Amino acid sequence: RKEVEQDPGPFNVPEGATVAFNCTYSNSASQSFFWYRQDCRKEPKLLMSVYSSGNEDGRFTAQLNRASQYISLLIRDSKLSDSATYLCVVNQKSNYQLIWGAGTKLIIKP
């Protein structure tokens, strides 16, 4: 079983819709959680951290469920520019390594 699992998609979503996807992690000792975004043929970039209480950044909302060991990302009022692959990332804090999911591909259609 992979340490961080994501639905690879693609999620095909009309512009303006709300879309959500989850990521599960296997190590209960995981302490920090993040979403990175990777555009096609580009490098990954940090999108947002995920806090225990949940957090929001504009149209993006991230949630953490420690009991079930998953994190989620919700995108409201989706834009064409949101089309990308979203990578779920976990850190155990025992070292400085990040454990990366394989990514969920999102395609926003006009």
- Tell me which stretch binds other proteins (CB under 8 A): 15-23, 51-59, 68-76, 92-100: 92-100
The dihedral through the CA atoms of 14, 86, 5, 41 has a sign that is positive
* CB nearer to other proteins: pick between 14 and 93: 93
* CB nearer to other proteins: pick between 19 and 101: 101
* CB nearer to other proteins: pick between 74 and 102: 102
Examine residue 44 and tell whether it contacts other proteins (CB under 8 A): yes
Residue 94, amino acid: S
SS3 81: helix
SS3 58: coil
Residue 30, amino acid: S
Neighbouring C-beta atoms of residue 13, cutoff 10 Å: 18
Examine residue 34 and tell whether it contacts other proteins (CB under 8 A): yes
User: Rule CB under 8 A: which residues touch other proteins?
Assistant: 32, 34, 42-46, 49, 87, 89, 91, 95-98, 100-103
